[in-house]
Structure 1
């Protein structure tokens, strides 16, 4: 049986144990063995984590050291709570086990945040921080009137302070756990998610225990042994899972049900505040907490809107770049054949005449053969710049592939031959003695030409320019020499 299946079975048994303890009224003959079992599990988990701390290095070792220390403190506290159960001690805090439990709770945030070592961007840090504050404040709103304030009034200064400190610390742990679990990758079980689940269960167990005790229940902690055993089983499971040291497991934006986790306490907080207000029982502390929660929720939503705006702008830019890449040559940045064909078709439909120039480099193969393709690429980039200098501002310059280029003039310019001559001059001015250019020109005054026929005629003119000795211009049909 794999570790997850064993853990699932153990969790089921822990649930049955808690139901048994509750329905039987927490008898000593059941509480003591349950406490002993929970304590044994806690020491086993602490030992497992200590072994992992010894084996690992770097941030993983730090995480397991924190985990081993926190779990060890809980194990000691559980041992003293079990001793209280054996003695039949059923008094309110403070007790030694309470101090040890508080120390374990104080280490819990370090456990959750010490492990993964991948850097986190500032905006993600801000979002995580706001989410944590929002959840902690939301949990405080119902905890204050229902648990914290009654505890302080019942137990007085010293005991009340300790009794408040433990659940308050666990509220912080629960907030961190909720945020991390909401952002954890779906189905990606690892040590951090298991630890987050363990401390979330611990926090919930402490709050339930305190609520029951305040209402006349037992002050023996192991009256909730089933709940605490559940958290301890999750601690054991964490020791069987990998610690994610190369990436933080909570970088993904929350989606689906997980996205709603941080807002469940928010809804609970506002519901509690509404009920307290209706009963006239809301005090200044609760009002201040609700106002702070509202500010945090608004700030979080503002940040979410800002992030969404930035993502939309980034997406728009990526789409623009993809559209540009689909219609332009990667090397020269000129239009590619696809864009040229589209522009020719649009020009023919619009009328007004079209002139198309095809330019093919002479001697370019020699450059590639003698100097290599990097040198050839450099020549092509320089030729592309030369063509831009030679043509009118509204002309389209395209690279068809290899060392063949095209220039589209629309409306058809009477100076197409002059443009062809400037192309030859600009390429010659590059100072590359091995490279020249031949140009074929075709005019379409506005008739029945198609994209295919226009390219075919321009190619025929280019062929005549090559056959005439290169470095010259030929015009389709007339084939008169513009320059030799």
Structure 2
């Protein structure tokens, strides 16, 4: 890459130095009479046309190497070729005549150069904005008319009125200023359309087009005063313009992929050009208003203002359309409430500074019966009615969103746990009132989970996860309002503000006394559920070499739809490998939750976590009998009393025959020897307290 860049730089330098040398030599003969044919040949034929020829050849070569801008560079090359032919025709054919005619055949060549020059601004716009909007093209029209008005009034005004009487001479006198006026108007259109996308190549080529106007004005002024001679200041301007073309070619970067121009252009960089054009048009009108008749500059200024009015109307229409699109992107189509995206944006703006807030998650109980029994239209009416009722029971600052289906969420800015619970109870009372849909009066209940920031989390995702756990706990209890089951646990803060539960890790050792696993429990000896362990993850120091931690799944964990994903994400944030945690299905899990338990265990295993089924010997026999529970380990709980050895032996044999692995846990200091089973006994406990790490 560096070598290629150096090679390109090396090939550019000789061209630049050659151009500079040709211009320097030509400067020695500027604005002085030629002493003879040899000097005329040197200055007016060779040096005057050398730089334009070089510029045309370079442009044609660059057009062959740049497919994206081939037509732009080739148009410039053709224009310079026609100008050179006109120059040679004038010096070699027209000037030697006793009375040089006007217009001459050279004028035909020079005027023929304008069409390819007119194409250059159009090609520049098409290569950089192939999908420009109607507003962009109106901006181009505004810029073109404003530049034409200014140029016609203050630059080309004197040349637009010709004293000649020959119709052909009058046409020729008018052709040059009108063509230059159109050329400069197209330059103004380029800047208006591209706006902030104007790059170096555009700037240089527009400068070349403007330089054509400057050279023509200087030559026209000299001819009007009767002082024009070949090699004057107008001809020098032509040579310098060709040199500028060479600079544009050798510094042209490789064109990037074109990007569409913004449909609604509202930034100051976009509106600055139209505003400036309107100011220029008003200045032209203020100058021309007192003069009799309507000049070309005045007509262009009036056209600029008219195009500006059309642009304003179109922009307002597009802004209304954009506002509607944004509103729809943040609105639930069925209920007209906020959607998940709007809730996330409002919550992020409120929670970012660490302000308190409450989050409620509501799920309708009995909605499926209405939807299936009365039809989807009735279900939709029910959701709209419920949404309106909930909205009427909230503060103006609260955000009510429908997340999907029959699930709603409420963001309560500034609310603590007490206010959040009061609001949840009020919404529950609203939801249980009868609703008339499809000519029937129906009743639905609601299960509401609540969470508060910063106690339950600092992001809307963590708050929704905590509220989701509470919602399923409420659903398991028959409906109503509930918080995350882990919320009552003490949640002290570490210096970084991360929540940590007071979790006790009870080591489980093998017969040789080596740690084989650790069991997460609460300080009072109860199994610590998944939520409590998740809160303590930053303080547990779980690494690859440490024994895995066994944690018990609560009914709310089993009933939750995002338990596996939430746990995997928490482990990832804490830097804990998934194999360091084993999720245990509890012995007292209600029977209706067993299908959900099977799905959850499969999801946990798919994410790399360990799984186990806990229970007494008889429960293990019942669970293992169907062979359908996707657990890595069957855990025999031998603590708290003696279990017949025969029952243990039969349980181990059955699970082993089904392809499972059995681990027995006992608190006996002298554990029994069970063939085919790994027996672990409990040892001392390590506490994960704030600011410490359990090992």
Q: Structure 1-normalised TM-score?
A: 0.62
| CA spacing shift, 1:294–1:388, aligned 2, 3 Å | closer
Q: How does 1:396-435 map to 2 (within 5 A)?
A: 397=400, 416-417=428-429, 419=431
Query: Cα distance, 1:220 vs. partner?
Result: 3.7
2:133 pairs with 1:126: no
| CA spacing shift, 1:169–1:389, aligned 2, 3 Å | same
Greater shift, 87-96 or 47-56, is seen at 87-96
Separation (CA, whole Å) in 2 of partners of 1:360 and 1:129:
57
Paired residues in the alignment total: 410
2:477 aligns with 470
Q: Helix, strand or coil: the match of 1:21?
A: coil
| CA spacing shift, 1:79–1:167, aligned 2, 3 Å | same
Q: Which runs of 5+ in 1 are unaligned?
A: 349-355, 363-382, 424-435, 443-449, 477-484
Query: Cα distance, 1:112 vs. partner?
Result: 2.2
1:42 to 38, 45, 52: 52
2:302 aligns with 295
- Summarize deviations over 1:369-415 as a string: whole Å, max 9, x none: xxxxxxxxxxxxxx9997665573524555899x9966789999889
* 2:22–2:50 Cα contact (<8 Å) kept: no
1:247 aligns with 258
1:376 aligns with none
- Summarize deviations over 1:178-206 as a string: whole Å, max 9, x none: 3324655477212x433222121112211
1:21 aligns with 30
1:67 to 76, 79, 85: 76
- Summarize deviations over 1:136-182 as a string: whole Å, max 9, x none: 244234566511323xx236222231232123212211221233246
- Summarize deviations over 1:320-378 as a string: whole Å, max 9, x none: 689989x955269799868999xxx9999xxxxxxx9765799xxxxxxxxxxxxxxxx
Q: How does 1:344-363 map to 2 (within 5 A)?
A: 359=362
Q: Which runs of 5+ in 2 are unaligned?
A: 1-8, 366-378, 395-399, 411-419, 436-443, 458-462, 484-695
1:439 aligns with 447
* 1:437–1:472 Cα contact (<8 Å) kept: yes
Query: Cα distance, 1:47 vs. partner?
Result: 1.8
Q: How does 1:323-362 map to 2 (within 5 A)?
A: 330=340, 359=362
2:200 aligns with 189
1:202 aligns with 212
1:107 aligns with 116
Q: How does 1:81-120 map to 2 (within 5 A)?
A: 81-83=90-92, 87=96, 91=100, 93-115=102-124, 116-117=126-127, 118-120=130-132
* 1:31–1:225 Cα contact (<8 Å) kept: no
| CA spacing shift, 1:441–1:210, aligned 2, 3 Å | closer
1:140 aligns with 152
Q: How does 1:215-234 map to 2 (within 5 A)?
A: 215-218=225-228, 220=230, 224-234=234-244
Higher helix share: 1
Rg bigger for which structure?
Answer: 2
1:365 aligns with none
Separation (CA, whole Å) in 1 of partners of 2:43 and 2:279:
32
Q: Helix, strand or coil: the match of 2:141?
A: helix
* 2:133–2:261 Cα contact (<8 Å) kept: no
| CA spacing shift, 1:256–1:470, aligned 2, 3 Å | closer
Greater shift, 114-123 or 387-396, is seen at 387-396
Q: Helix, strand or coil: the match of 2:340?
A: coil
- Summarize deviations over 1:246-278 as a string: whole Å, max 9, x none: 43899888569977875797578558747xx6x
Separation (CA, whole Å) in 1 of partners of 2:20 and 2:98:
28
* 2:448–2:480 Cα contact (<8 Å) kept: yes
Query: Cα distance, 1:13 vs. partner?
Result: 8.9
- Summarize deviations over 1:8-34 as a string: whole Å, max 9, x none: 996899699679734x57887877644
2:186 aligns with 176
Separation (CA, whole Å) in 1 of partners of 2:471 and 2:285:
84
Separation (CA, whole Å) in 2 of partners of 1:234 and 1:100:
22
2:89 to 80, 89, 106: 80
* 2:94–2:106 Cα contact (<8 Å) kept: no
| CA spacing shift, 1:225–1:26, aligned 2, 3 Å | farther
Q: Helix, strand or coil: the match of 2:161?
A: helix
2:223 aligns with 213
Q: Structure 2-normalised TM-score?
A: 0.46
Query: Cα distance, 1:235 vs. partner?
Result: 2.3
Separation (CA, whole Å) in 1 of partners of 2:261 and 2:18:
27
| CA spacing shift, 1:419–1:334, aligned 2, 3 Å | farther
* 1:180–1:193 Cα contact (<8 Å) kept: no
| CA spacing shift, 1:178–1:219, aligned 2, 3 Å | farther
Query: Cα distance, 1:39 vs. partner?
Result: 0.8
Query: Cα distance, 1:228 vs. partner?
Result: 0.2
Separation (CA, whole Å) in 1 of partners of 2:161 and 2:423:
83
- Summarize deviations over 1:76-96 as a string: whole Å, max 9, x none: 112223436984988462222
Separation (CA, whole Å) in 2 of partners of 1:179 and 1:198:
15
Greater shift, 201-210 or 36-45, is seen at 36-45
Query: Cα distance, 1:131 vs. partner?
Result: 2.6
Separation (CA, whole Å) in 2 of partners of 1:235 and 1:464:
72
- Summarize deviations over 1:79-120 as a string: whole Å, max 9, x none: 223436984988462222211110001221112213534122
| CA spacing shift, 1:149–1:421, aligned 2, 3 Å | closer
2:545 aligns with none
Separation (CA, whole Å) in 1 of partners of 2:207 and 2:165:
30
| CA spacing shift, 1:411–1:132, aligned 2, 3 Å | same
| CA spacing shift, 1:358–1:16, aligned 2, 3 Å | same
